[in-house]
Amino acid sequence: MVLRSVSRNDLIHTVHDRQLRFLGHMLRNTHSPHASTYALYQPTHGTTRRGRPRLNYVDYIEKVTGTKVNELLEVSQDREAWRELVVMCVDLEPPD
């Protein structure tokens, strides 16, 4: 209530905004060809542990944005489209 009256965002919105902006920067990075590879790294080795699978970074980003990784790679190359995606994702999230 107070945050809305002073037009401040919730902390979770700020965190998601910064995470997505940084991810877009890493995916557009042309100086290091491995930056986008490591930004969206999914381990395929090792054993599966018992219980609920842990949420990995790629699944987390897909959950926050609502789009698949292949689409994110394409959108990230256009700065304006990426900014629109970030604003849309941060604005659509209801505060907890």
For residues 80-91, give the mean pLDDT: 89
Domain range summary for the chain, segments of one domain joined by +? 2-33+55-92
Q: How far apart are CA 57 and CA 50, in angstroms?
A: 19
- Look at residue 9 in the predicted model and tell me its pLDDT: 67
> Tens of pLDDT along 25-72?
988 887 877 887 788 888 778 787 889 888 888 899 999 888 898 899
Q: How far apart are CA 76 and CA 61, in angstroms?
A: 13
Residues 47/35, Cβ–Cβ less than 8 Å: no
